[in-house]
Every structure is written in structure tokens, then in C-alpha cells.
Amino acid sequence: MRPMTRAEVRAAIVNLDPAQKKVHLPTWFDEVHWHRIDYLGWRDLRAPMRVYMVADVDGEAFGVMLRQNPNQAALGSRAVMCDLCRFTRRFNEVSLFTAQRPSKDKRQRLSKLGLHVCTDLDCSVNVHSKPIVGPLDPPAEETIERRRQGLRERTVTFLRSVSDLDRTARRSE
Ligand SMILES: [Zn+2]
């Protein structure tokens, strides 16, 4: 994704809690390899169950705050697939996160969207992992580019759906 400024990333979060005044950026913000990632994801060090995800949506920085669901017991020891990079990992390496929809309307505010994402928000490591290339497979770079394309598309779709209030309103009519 394109490099973003601190101010851009801070302003991108559309669903902050009304009580929350500031987005805490990661300490490693200056070391981000923007060309390697398809979304910027990090954990709030002051509130460890809170994570942020920011991506470029039609040229604009757009992001959401998510809460990690503490109840992982139901998953047992199954392998779980990340909804964004689509890699299947050990159950503790993928977590359920929920995003609150931003709204002034109280009823809408109760509405949440959940998805399973790599617990460390390290989807970019997965999509860059070297694929096993057989004689009939496309070159590794092609596979990696295809994975990244999918990751970008699914991230943008999710981010949009969090703030897509119009569609929700219509659906519930
Ligand atoms: Zn992932």
C-alpha cells in the first residue's frame, strides 16, 4: 500500500469509542515497509485487546478499531482460517475480532461486525511466504501477487462494510 503519515492514519479510524480521544500508533510506525503490506494493523499497547486496521480505500486512508474476542474456548484446538489472508493457522494464531459500526443512532451503535484475523495482524507475512511451485504452477511471484490482491480486496470490503450504514438501514426495513 502507499505510505501514509501519522496524521492520516490517526484520522482514518471511523469507529472510535466516543470516550477515546486518541489513537495510539505503533512504536514501530517509522519502520513500516509500506510496499510489503496491504493493510496496516497493530495492537494498542495501552489496551491490548484493542487493535486497529488501516488500508487505502480508493486513495483515502480508511480504518477501523476492533476488539479481540476474549472467548476462544469454543474453538478448541481446531485450525482456523483468517478471513483476510485466507491462511489456515493454529487456533491461537487466528482470533475473532469485532468492529462496532459508527453511528449516532443508539440502535445502530449496537450493531457489530466480526471476522477472524491473524492474531498478530501479520497477514502480510503469510501472503509473502514462498509457495511450493510444481511444474504446472505459476511462478512464485505470480502466486504472491494474487494472494496480495485477494488480501487487499477482502480488507477493503470489510472496512467498507463496517461503515456502510445506508445498506444496513435498507436491509432492516
Ligand atoms: Zn491473515
DSSP string, 15-43: ---TT-------TTGGG--GGG-SSEEEE
The candidate with the shortest Cα–Cα distance to 77, out of 100, 58, 93, 59, is: 93
**pTM score:** 0.87
- Please determine, for residue 74, whether its predicted confidence score (pLDDT) is greater than 70: no
Residue 20: pLDDT band with limits 50, 70, 90: confident
- What pLDDT score was predicted for residue 65? 95
- What pLDDT score was predicted for residue 166? 47
108: left (phi over 0), alpha (psi -120 to 50) or beta: alpha
- What pLDDT score was predicted for residue 73? 57
> Quick one: average pLDDT of 149-167?
86
- What pLDDT score was predicted for residue 70? 81
- What pLDDT score was predicted for residue 164? 73
Cα of 173 vs centre of ligand 1, distance in Å, is 34
Cell of 111: 450493531
Give the CA dihedral 159, 130, 135, 80, nearest 10 degrees.
-50
Cα of 39 vs centre of ligand 1, distance in Å, is 11
* 76-132 tens-digit pLDDT: 668 899 999 999 998 889 999 999 888 766 665 568 899 999 999 999 999 999 999
Cα of 68 vs centre of ligand 1, distance in Å, is 14
Cα of 105 vs centre of ligand 1, distance in Å, is 32
More confident residue, 126 or 45: 126
Residue ranges with CB less than 5 Å from ion ligand 1: 82, 84-85, 118, 123
* 49-69 tens-digit pLDDT: 999 999 999 999 999 999 999
Instruction: Give residue limits of the domains in the chain.
Output: 6-165
Q: Is 51 helix (H, G, I), strand (E, B) or coil?
A: strand
E strand or H helix at 67: strand 60-68
Cα of 118 vs centre of ligand 1, distance in Å, is 4
Cα of 86 vs centre of ligand 1, distance in Å, is 6
